[in-house]
Structure 1
Amino acid sequence: MADSRIARPSTDEESAPLLQDVSHPDAPSQQPSNESFAERVSKIVQEPLSPLSKVLCVLALIFLLLSSVFIGLFAGAQHKLNSRNGEPKPVETVTVTLSTGIVTATSTVTTTYSVPIPSPTGVPREEPCLSPECITLSSAVLASLDESQDPCNNFFDFANGGWLKQHLIPSDKSSIGSFTVLVEENRRLIQQILSQESSSISAMSQGTDRYDEQLLKKLRGLYNSCMNEDLLDARGATPLVRVVKKVRDLFNGETTIVDISSDKLQKRDGDDKDDRSGLTAAVAYLHSRGIGALFEANIEGDVGRDPNFMTFYFGQPNLGLPAKEYYEEEEVTGAYRSVLERLLLTLHEEETTESETEAASPKLVIHEERLRVWPPWPWPPWDGDDGDKDGDHDDDKPVNRTEEAHKLAKRIVKFEKKIAAASLDLTVLYGDPIATYNPVPLSNLTASFPEFDFPAYFSTFAPRKFPETVILTSTTFPAALSEIISDTPRSTIQAYLETRAALALAPNLGVNTEAWRAVRSLEELLRGIKPGAVGDRAEFCITKVESTLGFAAGRYFVQETFGGESKEKGTKVITDTVSAFKESLKNLKWMDDESRAAATQKADALRVKVGYPLSPDTRNPRSLVNYYRLVKVHEDTFFENVLSSQVNDQIRMWSKLGKRRDQDDWLLVPTKVEAYYNPPANELVFPAGILRPPFFSQHWPSYISYGAFGAAASHELTHAFDSVGRLYNQEGKLEKWWTNSTSEGFKRIEKCIVEQYASYYVEDGRGGNVYVNGNLTASENIGDSGIIQAYRAWKANYHESALAGNEFLLPGLNYTREQLFFISFARIWALNIRPASAVERIRSDPHSPHRFRVEGTLFNTPEFAKAFNCPAGAKLNPPNEKRCLFW
């Protein structure tokens, strides 16, 4: 027996035949034939075929014919596929000839077909979604792009260039952007609800619920009163004159109180007429109508002690001009003086005309009974019918009203400029909650500002609820305001208060009144709007409906737009982003374990509100009727309707004083294209108005939704941990909850952000540049950096989302999902803006210009550069050491 360990010879050395005659194993092997191949073929052909051979030949012929047919069909189908995906691929032609010899007949079949040149095998191509929603979305994305731009150097224009060319700024607007377009779409939906041909939902509600009937009656009454331009023009400035006259009479009249039981005016016993009482009464009246003057009053949680206990905040007021810088520019202050002068003159002329008319026909006097919307509420409805007590002209010498108005306008501007100088810079007001939290006893405030009677002021709004402690946003402002008032003539203060009312309320008059035109001219200058250009009246009226009865309008808007899985899918984007943020905390080198644990707890404690509020409950018309019970609406008194609503808002605000926070309360109505993070409440709020294209749709693929709406979600989430939000703990209380080392690490990166954005600028339209205030915009820029959390949230959920069929491709878009994520992010910031308006925003808005909200953010996002394969050295692919990497 041979040894099995001996190596077997290689096959090319074997000489024994592989097959032998097994019946004769010992027979000698057959020797190879010397016949040629042609001789063997000729011999086989000449041999007669057996019946079996004939059958096999026929079957072989049939098989070859069928194979030829199938090969031809396959080649044609492949050619069509190649043509669908682009140009037909090169092919080679192969000719197959079949010859079959049979005794009785000889048949030859020739088939010609095309075979694609072999190519590497890859993943089967995904078919794009072709639903109407997908086609619409794909078309919108394609239309917004400008593919001539380099995404690695100019991504804002790459993603939005097409959109910007298609959306020119209307002559009556200062800008147009993705936000404003959606705002207009939302308002058109409200307009449809309010039209006589109401939507199916509002019609159904009107027919089945008396509370819906009441709501729709108020909404339509307010809208119709606004649209009645003939009546507004006929009334002229009379409604405004009556408010201004009330202010003047209060400022110059005796101290009065309201008898709650009779709602009549009375003298305060034992109180003599003095300057303080008149100033207090006039300011209280303006504040009760939502008109700012001298200082700002607000009711919010005591963030230093108990964020859920609502208390009184005393702060600096808004000014006639939007920012301090404007008071240093003669062109602007000159125009502002002119507007004030025009207002003072027209108010006097209208008042004189009205007085003469009333004297001739007393029956024409229209009283303000509609403003007394809640008799038990102690608003100061002083009649002020004791004449015009100017106080500046005791003799009978004629007064040159034009000259006097000119002098008063100059003094008002000077007065406001002093208030502006005494006010905090916006960087402190918006960016330092510790510096603006200064609790003091009420007696401290009254001592610092003795010209104002605070007990009388509080009794106007909240009797028996005087706050023992008040919060000052500035410790120096009350004393500075006191000094300014002491050094200012009473006539100037009176004129200031009168023009505050006029500036706030003149837009509610007819567009042909002098007061309306005067106020509009200031807006045209500050925002670069074409002089005299007036937009659609319906758009303005819907804006008023939204601002005055917004929760009621929101009920029907939500029913129309926020159905299906919108709430669930929108909430999932937010909660996924929160989860991604908590996961990213583990990798932050500048945050230590103690601070990381606290940050995780705060993220877990966030309250997420999506779509619509529960207080008032937009699902319950009775709740909304109760919320707006004080708003009296009449179709012939638009101006008074607006005042009535503003009174209602102030009553609701002051009713919170000394109470616990309503955790279901919202600061925005459902139709708003906005979102916010509220630090004292530690809540994220996203109205239904923003959960619409180009931000969100329940029918979109996830990479689009997370790129667009995820940007909004991550921005608001990041606010909880930005320059301001990081100073509030998980309960909304101002507290040091980060360690010193973590705080220092944060500040280093914050400084990087400040310096980065301070290098950006906008053109002022006059050949100059205005640079971004890096300190003012720091918190918002840090918020924008949160886009990386939305990206990580999408990536973390990709597998699950793909299995659920939510990562489908869109037709015609030759971009990866990662690229489309960032494109959808950039598209929400599309904006065309006039230079004057851009300058105004830089001076007054804590947000950076939209271009830098895109490119400044992506500069600090390495994932973007990777998605677009940006080369080293590209503007949006800097070295990591130059990036400001927070998360």
Structure 2
Amino acid sequence: MRSSTLVAFLATGAAARYIHRVEQITRPSFPHLIKPHLVARDDEVCTSPSCQLAAENYLANFPSNYTEMDPCENFDQMICGGWLDKNDFRPDQATIGIGSTMSEEADNILRVIMENPYATNSTPAGVNATLDRENFDKMQSAYKACVDLDAIKAAGAAPLQEIVNELQEKFPLNAATKSTAAISSGELTDIMIWMAQYGLAPFVSAGTAADDKNPDTVIVSVGPGATTMAKQYYNNTAFVGNLTMTMAAMFSAILDNATDYTELAAKVVDLEGRIATVEPDPEIISDVTYYYNPMTLAEADALVPAISLTSLIKAQAPASYEPEFIIVQSPDYLKDVTPILESAPRDTLQALFMWSVISSFGGRIDKDINQPLRAFRNFQAGRPANATSDRWRTCLDEVDSVAGWIESEAYVQRAFSPEAKTFGDEIVQSLRDVYADKLQSLDWMGNDTKRVAIEKVKALNQKIGYPTISPNVLDPVSLRDFYANLTLSSASFFANGLSATTFELARTWAQLLAPADKEFWFMTASTVNAYYNPSSNEIAFPAGIMQQPVFDLDLPEYVSYGAFGSVAGHEITHAFDDSGRYYDQTGAFSEWWDNKTLASFTQRTQCFVDQYSEFAITGLDGAPLNVNGQLTLGENIADAGGVAASFEAWKMRDQADPARNKALPGLEFFTKDQMFFVSYATWWCGRSRLETAVNRIYTDPHSPPMFRIRGTLENSKAFLESFQCAKKEPKCELW
């Protein structure tokens, strides 16, 4: 967010210039359009400072030849071409876009807060100032420890070496037969339990989650562990070679500089690659019909005799917890990984455990020691080898991670108004109303299914801005109680990381003894994002996403509806995408769609799969790499449904009060309808480095930004009509 001084400075000269031009303006020629549009009266143009700034930003985002471009064919370039030309990556960035620019604005606010003393005059009336300051001090301690590079350098590798040394004691090598010493199930289980206290899960992960079929209850869920790379990269010589060299270098730095660990590292990478081959693909692991496999502990143990899941779970769960069943996300994975573990050499297993520790906590030691690890991560993302984020940026991420709700309080008090929250609620509610009407009129959905779908929309729990329960970020007492068991110190960045891990593990496992907390948020207030949670049938929009250019009370409403409204509609649509459709109005996993409705849904969604599978980026080898239309199906459905619902909701408000949708100065050649889509597309201006873009094709359920513009608008009847495109019907249509 820009300061008021900057806004006034930018707007002062622009206002007179644009107002003077209104009478003379003519619409630039879009080659394919027939009817020109002209605003001829000053009172139809918004000339406020906010409108001046927004107009300047839009115009700066356009390429110089945008008036010669066909929006029906090149809308992403027409709206974002100038932005892409003017904005390049910082060395530490793998992705840039309007969203990252918004995050920068939030970070600038937070940096000032973190680097200054507690502001006694900022405590809201009626708030316990003493507790508020104590919370602030706890948060600031995390920041101070993180930015204290001298202390981090003085500590050297010792904090990490201490954990690695303990690991070697817990899982020692046999001096005579390092590679072939027998490994018992109990021994492997013990080391897995030891690693779990650090949040590490190299083979099998165990955690807690709401029971999909009984979402008021929290249960244990067991799934695959984590490998260093996506499975596709273990067949890539460059990535395998780079990872091998990185492991060897980090082993030397932490263990013994005189030893060459290249051969051992190669064995670890090979073991990871074998594990990766049996991991479920990302498009199925998120499918509730695939991962919801309730089993008793005995049944689960039988799948993976190399590890006692019963012991692993009981070591972390509260002593009084006795599960009737657990969820095994991928029984096939547990069966297939067992022979891999049983045949792995002992020294390779120990080295893999050490790598898990080093790769997870290596970022907390001196940068000169962890340089190989940083270089590998830069290689993965396509950044320069020695790229490093400004320390203050790294430390804001640290604070968000370890004390995010205290940080949220600080952000909300300075950057989010009650009026913004009210307007956000209005937008989301208007979309829910539209969605209920749209569902009622669907001709392919059966009446019984339609009834539950409408009930589901009406039952949605919408969360706007920040949490007021679990914890209430505006209540110092609530924040103090939430973080009561978290110890943070300005003396040790490394120790803070361990403390935060211990705190979070204890908090999540303790949930097994209580009903599911449906008031808890999964994003902090400054986050530029939003989400839908099916098990609680909730949509959440942090304050961070409710800022320009996505959202602003002082701009014409087509701006906020085009961007933020489409985001809100996107999240609502997730309730009915290929995953959300399995959850009813209570958040319970159930088959509530009739067969005819399901058949129609499957036929219509296949269109989206085929459409997006035709989009391609350039791969690492220079050949086209196609989008995975199945992996991205849910997000693509949500994009299409979100835009359609938001446009309809906005049109109803515009018809009721057209004065809320004046033209922006210099953009009078766009109709109001067209400006809605300009705002939508602007939200997706951005790009990623090649390596990052490729990795996202493999693993990310979201399509690349340019295809979220092209594909979505190919499927928007309102867009095609607004720009008078030759093709009048959407390519794919669902909601």
Structure 1-normalised TM-score? 0.75
Correspondent of 2:148 among 228, 233, 237: 228
Residues 617-628 of structure 1 aligned to structure 2 (within 5 Å) = 617-628=472-483
Query: Aligned equivalents of 1:145 and 1:308: distance in 2?
Result: 49
1:329 matches 2:329: no
Q: Distance in 1 between matches of 2:448 and 2:20?
A: 60
1:485 aligns with: 341
Question: Per the alignment, in what secondary structure is the counterpart of residue 152 of structure 1?
Answer: helix
| 1:681 positional shift | 0.7
Counterpart AA for 2:648: R
Hey, what does 2:391 align to over in structure 1?
537
1:85 alignment counterpart = 23
Which region of structure 1 is more displaced relative to structure 2, 716-725 or 684-693?
A: 684-693
- Paired residue type of 1:312: V
Q: Distance in 1 between matches of 2:156 and 2:709?
A: 46
- Structure 2 partner of 1:193: 113
Q: CA RMSD in A?
A: 2.4
Alignment of 1:818-837 (within 5 A): 818-837=673-692
Distance 1:415 1:592, change over 3 A: same
Aligned 8 A contact 1:202 1:556 in 2: no
Q: Which amino acid aligns with 2:585?
A: Q
Matches within 5 A, 1:87-236: 126-146=43-63, 147=66, 148-196=68-116, 202=122, 209-236=129-156
- Relative to structure 1, the CA distance from residue 83 to residue 601 in structure 2 (aligned partners, 3 Å threshold; closer, same or farther) is closer
| Residues 399-446 of structure 1 deviation map (CA, whole Å, 9 limit, x = unaligned) | x831xx22221221121122212211111112x211110000111112
Distance 1:165 1:409 in 2: 42
Cα displacement string for residues 86-110 of structure 1 (whole angstroms, at most 9, x for unaligned residues): 189xxxxxxxxxxxxxxxxxxxxxx
Amino acid paired to 1:477: Y
Q: Which residue among 511, 516, 522 is the counterpart of 2:376?
A: 522
2:219 to 302, 311, 315: 311
Q: Indicate how the Cα distance of structure 1 residues 721 and 82 shifts in structure 2: closer, same or farther if over 3 A, else same.
A: closer
1:176 and 1:831 in contact (8 A); partners too: yes
Taking the TM superposition and a 5 Å limit, the aligned residue runs for 1:845-864 are 845-864=700-719
**What letter corresponds to residue 173 of structure 1 in structure 2?**
Q
**Structure 1 residues 834 and 124: alpha-carbon distance in aligned structure 2, compared to 1, 3 A threshold:** closer
Judging by fraction of residues, say which structure has more helix.
Answer: 2
C-alpha deviation, 1:172, in angstroms: 2.0
Tell me if the contact between 1:277 and 1:453 (Cα under 8 Å) persists in the aligned partners. yes
Determine the structure 1 residue equivalent to 2:540. Answer: 685
1:592 CA displacement: 2.2
Question: Does structure 1 retain, via aligned residues, the 8 Å contact 2:173–2:346?
Answer: no
Partner SS for 1:349 = coil
CA distance in 2, matches of 1:122, 1:782: 35
Give the Å deviation of 1:542: 0.7
Distance 1:653 1:198 in 2: 31
* Mapped partners of 2:143, 2:42: distance in 1: 54
Cα distance between partner residues in 1 of 2:170 and 2:473: 39
Secondary structure at 2:341 match in 1: helix
User: Which residue, out of 472, 478, 497, partners 2:353?
Assistant: 497
Matched, 1:792 2:648: yes
What is the distance in 1 between the residues matched to 2:39 and 2:533? Answer: 50
Q: Name the residue aligned to 1:582.
A: 436
The residue type equivalent to 2:635 in the other structure is E
- Using the alignment, how far apart are the partners of 1:296 and 1:422 within structure 2? 15
| In structure 2, distance between residues paired with 1:684 and 1:204 | 28
1:401 aligned residue (259, 270, 273): 259
d(CA) in 1 for partners of 2:211, 2:724: 50
CA distance in 2, matches of 1:590, 1:641: 55
Q: How much does 1:734 deviate?
A: 1.5
Deviation at 1:276, TM superposition (A): 3.3
Secondary structure (helix, strand or coil) at the match of 1:657 reads: helix
Quote the Cα distance in structure 2 between the aligned partners of 1:523 and 1:847: 21
Letter in 2 for 1:885: E
Maintained 8 Å contact 2:23/2:40:
no
**What does 1:751-766 align with in structure 2 at a 5 Å threshold?**
751-764=606-619, 766=621
Structure 1 residues 445-454 or 843-852, which shifts more? 445-454
Counterpart-to-counterpart distance in 1, 2:479 and 2:125:
14
Paired letter, 1:609 = K
Q: Distance in 2 between matches of 1:126 and 1:860?
A: 34
- The answer (yes or no) to whether the contact 1:611–1:686 under 8 Å persists in 2 is yes
Post-superposition Cα deviations, 1:625-675, rounded to whole Å, max 9, x if no partner, equal: 121122212222101111111111111110111421112111111111111
Post-superposition Cα deviations, 1:229-267, rounded to whole Å, max 9, x if no partner, equal 12212221111111222222223499xxxxxxxxxxxxx
1:455, 1:744 → 2: CA distance?
Answer: 41
Partner of 1:320: 228
Q: Counterpart of 1:608 in 2: which secondary structure?
A: strand
TM-score (norm 2): 0.90
| Rg (Cα) greater in structure | 1
Q: Deviations over 1:58-97 (max 9, x none)?
A: xxxxxxxxxxxxxxxxxxxxxxx99861189xxxxxxxxx
Q: Deviation at 1:797?
A: 2.0
8 Å Cα contact 2:456-2:584 kept in structure 1: yes
Give, in angstroms, the shift of residue 204 of structure 1.
6.9
Match of 2:576, SS state, is coil
1:556 to 393, 410, 421: 410
417-426 or 554-563: bigger deviation: 417-426
> Compared with structure 1, are the counterparts of its residues 213 and 278 closer, same or farther at alpha carbon in structure 2 (3 Å cutoff)?
farther
Mapped to 1, the partners of 2:554 and 2:463 lie a distance apart of 21
1:718 deviates by 0.4
The one-letter amino acid paired with 2:713 is L
Compared CA separation, residues 137 and 700, structure 1 to 2 (3 A): same
| Residues 303 and 331, structure 2, Cα contact 8 Å, conserved in 1 | no
Match of 1:666 in 2: 521
- Which one scores higher on RCO, CA 8 angstroms, separation ≥ 6? 2
Aligned counterparts of 1:801 and 1:279: Cα–Cα separation in 2: 68
The structure-2 alpha-carbon separation of the partners of 1:203 and 1:485, relative to structure 1 and needing over 3 Å to count, comes to same
Amino acid at match of 2:524: V
The residue that corresponds to 2:422 in the other structure is 568
Structure 2 runs not aligned, ≥5 long: 1-18, 27-37, 175-181
Whether the 8 Å contact between 2:461 and 2:538 is mirrored in structure 1 is yes
Does the 8 A contact of 1:679 with 1:720 survive in 2?
yes
Deviation at 1:536, TM superposition (A): 0.9
Identify the match of residue 458 of structure 1 among 307, 313, 317: 313
Q: Which amino acid aligns with 1:317?
A: G
3-state secondary structure, aligned to 1:176: strand
* Count of matched residue positions in the alignment of Structure 1 and Structure 2: 692
Superposition pairs of residues 596-745 of structure 1, within 5 angstroms: 596-613=450-467, 614-745=469-600
Asked if structure 1 preserves the Cα contact closer than 8 Å seen for 2:247 and 2:265, the reply is yes
Deviations 1:311-349 (A, max 9, x none): 00001122101x110011111111111111112221113
